[in-house]
Amino acid sequence: MKKIATNVLCLLLGVILGFGAVILTWSIPLYRSMKVSMADIYLSLFGTYTYVQYREAGTTQAKVALTTNLRAIEILRAQHIQKLDARFEFETGLTDLRLYRMATHAGNKNEADEYMRDAQREAPKLGWADTSSAALARLIEARESKELQTEKETGQVPSASVDKSPEVHN
């Protein structure tokens, strides 16, 4: 009787461990997929919030939103979500250029130069051909003009990736 109980217990333990292994092998890819999806959703939502703050709020609030966005992107980058590397680079470069525009309009040349250098570090990763200060300044000006036009035409806040066409990015 004791031998049967031991065998049943071993069989039961094997079944439980087997189910655990199956659940684990199914859950890891699911977890990775959810991690990418949630990070992408977060980038979209926070990007929209940041854009609205940049457009509508005062200078201080806009700068706080933009710098918070940069920190959030860095936290997400630290998660090593390779499928979103290009998105992280794009959002970081765009945010740096927005901060550059704000610093320029505020007359803070040193701060503007620092944000421009940060944007120039991201630009080659995105395949932007001309990464000079003048080209990136034209790029953000053209992008913001297009965003404003889209906003006026549709009445909606443009998405984070309004236009990735070469004429806007190069």
Q: How far apart are CA 114 and CA 93, in angstroms?
A: 12
Q: What total number of domains does the chain contain?
A: 1
Q: How far apart are CA 72 and CA 66, in angstroms?
A: 10
Concatenate the DSSP letters of all residues of 56-101 into one string: HS-HHHHHHHHHHHHHHHHHHHTT--GGGHHHHHHHHHHHHHHHHH
What Cα–Cα distance (Å) separates residue 130 from each residue in 49, 50, 98, 100?
A: 29, 26, 18, 17
pLDDT given for residue 169 in this prediction: 39
Q: How far apart are CA 5 and CA 161, in angstroms?
A: 63
Q: How far apart are CA 170 and CA 161, in angstroms?
A: 15
Q: Average pLDDT for residues 9-20, to the nearest whole number?
A: 63
**Model pLDDT for residues 38-79, shown as the tens digit of each residue:** 778 877 777 787 888 888 888 888 888 888 888 888 888 888
Six-digit token string for 66 = 């933009």
Count CB-CB contacts under 10 A for residue 96. 24
Note down the domain range covering 132.
Answer: 2-169
pLDDT given for residue 2 in this prediction: 64
Looking at the chain, the whole-number percentage of residues with pLDDT higher than 70 is: 74
Q: How far apart are CA 140 and CA 146, in angstroms?
A: 10
3-state secondary structure of 5: helix
Instruction: State phi, psi for 15 to the nearest 5 degrees.
Output: -65, -45
